[in-house]
Amino acid sequence: MQETLIKEEIEVTNCSKERHAVLEEYRQRVLEQKMELERLEKMIFQSRPRNNFDARVKSRIQSAEDVTKDEVTRLEDTFARLRAATGVSRSEDVLNRFLGQRATKDNLQKMRVATEEKKMALEKQRQELLAEMEARKFSETKDAEQNAEEVDKWNRQIEEQRVRGSAADSGRQRVEDLIREITLTLWNVCNKFRDIIEPLPMEPSEVNNPLQLIELMNEKAKTAIDILGGPDKYLEVLNEVLVDKLESASITTTSVEGKAARATEGPLFPRFPSSVTPAMLPSEDEEDVPTRNALKKQAQQLVDVKSRRKGFIFKR
């Protein structure tokens, strides 16, 4: 409570001092104006005789008092309006309220300026955010298009790989089928010589690698060649066998040609057309019999192949 009273007393003192200062300022202005009027009067009326000096002094004093009264009246009216504006009843509180309101006005003006600046900054930020949002929308649209293109590209690549995989599977299946056929053929050939090829599997499905059968056949062929007396003896025997086969084939071919010639001739008894019998056509075995030159060529090729495998050259 005491602090409040001290504070009010200080405020009243300050208000009194400020009011006294204002009054002194106005008094000083009045005196300055009075002195200025006297100076102007001296400048204007310095050539005229100074008659009735006292009357002029009194008139000047009266005019100065009138000016002072008018100024005081104006100040009192201003003070009354100020007190009405501040809404206080005591004259001592007018100045404090006026100063407080002026400080409040200044604060409000600062707040207004700060608010305007903040509003402008927020508007600028909003524009930047809108621009960024539009850029992101464009970027997302572009990314979506690129992603769609990438997806289509990957789908095409996947389809190509799937087609290639299918083709590879088909090729692998054909190769496996061919290997099984080769294995079956080799096994059938080896199975005819089971008596001399002891480690031959019982079934073709038990053969893991067809090269094993080829190695078995090579081993047995080498053994047979060694038994016959070496490569030279083997070639001599092979040539004899081929010559015998060629001779038998030529005889067969001659007989087939004779049968064909008789078949093309007319019937033995042309007088009896009803008893005409068609000539017998040669069988498939007879049609497939090669000529002598073809057999000799095949035999020579077989001998050359065997010779190259065994590492020696057969002289024709």
Tokens in use for 226?
């060694």
- Chain position carrying tokens 């070496």: 230
Given a contact cutoff of 8 angstroms between Cβ atoms, the answer to whether 245 and 295 are in contact is yes
The Cα 112–Cα 118 span in angstroms is: 10
88, burial (CB in 10 Å: exposed 0-12, middle 13-18, buried 19+): middle
Other Cβ atoms closer than 10 A to 82: 15
Q: What are the CA-CA distances from residue 17 to residues 71, 151, 296, 307 (Å)?
A: 20, 87, 150, 142
Q: What is the pLDDT of residue 163?
A: 92
Question: Would you call 199 helix, strand, or coil by DSSP?
Answer: coil
Q: What is the pLDDT of residue 270?
A: 42
> CA neighbours within 13 Å on the CB side: how many for 127?
5
The Cα 187–Cα 212 span in angstroms is: 10
Spacing of C-alpha 168 from chain mean position: 31
Q: What is the pLDDT of residue 312?
A: 45
- Per-residue confidence of the chain (316 residues) as pLDDT tens digits? 667 777 777 877 778 788 888 888 888 888 888 888 888 877 777 555 455 556 666 677 777 777 777 777 887 787 777 777 767 667 667 777 778 878 888 899 999 999 999 999 999 999 999 999 988 888 888 888 888 888 889 999 999 999 999 999 888 899 888 888 888 887 787 777 666 666 666 676 777 777 777 777 777 777 777 776 777 776 777 777 777 777 666 666 555 555 554 444 444 434 434 444 444 444 444 445 556 667 667 767 766 666 665 554 444 4
DSSP at 194: T
Tokens in use for 48?
């005229």
| Backbone CA torsion sign across 73, 77, 82, 87 | positive
The Cα 269–Cα 275 span in angstroms is: 8
Q: What are the CA-CA distances from residue 273 to residues 142, 280, 281 (Å)?
A: 95, 18, 20
Does pTM top 0.85 for this prediction?
no
